[in-house]
Amino acid sequence: MMKMMKAAMLALFLLGTVAGAARAGWDPDEADKGRDAVAYLKKHDPSLDRFFAKAYGYVVFPDVYKGGLFLFGGGHGRGYVYEGGSLVGRSTITQINVGPQFGGQSFTEVIFFKDRKALDDFKQGNFEISAQMTAVVVTSGIATNADYSDGVALFVLPKAGVMADATVGGQKFSYEPIRHSPAAVPEPARQDVSPLQPYPGASTTSEAKPYEEPRPYNDTPFERADQGAIQY
């Protein structure tokens, strides 16, 4: 009886985590979790390298939480979509199951897309895992003989808890492309330009000249024509 109560509490906790994850917003720093999850999968099965290297794209979910309580169960996780090795979007995974189940589990999940069409179907919301589909559980060397089915290959690596099988049937996915903000255009460097530039060879220092009284008109060597002849 005590074990059943503990299992029920664990399932409720996981379902609460699912609800909390569904409300949480995207954190840009969480992209690091995608890279860490890839390294985590490769560490447990180096033969996955060929999928990561040759797949057109893939989506990796670092933490998928799945819980079951009596006749109902569900799962949720957040992941990162890669195309050509570059992060292009984010994804959520949801799963609802009806039937006898009890307990909880968390695992890392990765779905490989063999070609562009398979990835485009995922992006456009046309991808859903059938109820009968099971994932390949990652163990050392398991990916050596694994292959694509209908353009996709799916692997899971359990992290905590034990359930009856690695059933992923009924999983549904969302896709959100990453929107990059336009790069800021740098302002041109300011140059201090003097409003008056000296002519070449001119002195750059200014000296004040003493004030001079204007000369009388008749002090000049010439007089106006109407005042008489020119005087020397």
Task: Measure CA 232 to chain center.
Answer: 95
Q: Beta strand pairing status for 86-98 and 103-113?
A: unpaired
Through-space distance between the first and last CA atoms of the chain, rounded to whole angstroms: 137
Task: Measure CA 14 to chain center.
Answer: 26
Partner residues linked to 61 by β-bridges: 109
The residue among 146 and 5 whose pLDDT is bigger is: 146
Per-residue pLDDT, 84: 92
- State mean pLDDT over 81-90: 93
Q: Is 128 a residue whose pLDDT tops 50?
A: yes
Specify the pTM. Answer: 0.64
Lowest mean pLDDT among 56-65, 139-148, 166-175: 166-175
CA angle 77, 78, 83 (to 5 degrees): 130
Per-residue pLDDT, 9: 40
Per-residue pLDDT, 126: 87
| Per-domain residue ranges of the chain | 2-177
Q: Is 4 a residue whose pLDDT tops 50?
A: no
List C-alpha distances in Å: 219 to 178, 216, 224, 229.
Answer: 88, 6, 12, 14
Sign, Cα dihedral of 5, 7, 12, 17: positive
**117 pLDDT tier (thresholds 50, 70, 90):** very high
| Among 102, 76, 88, residue whose Cα is nearest residue 23 | 76
* Burial readout 57-87 (b: 16 or more C-beta within 10 A, e: otherwise): bbbbbbbbbbbbbeeebbbbbbbbbbbeeee
Report the C-alpha gap between 43 and 39 in whole angstroms.
Answer: 6
Q: Is 75 a residue whose pLDDT tops 90?
A: no
Q: Is 11 a residue whose pLDDT tops 60?
A: no
DSSP letter at 186? Answer: P
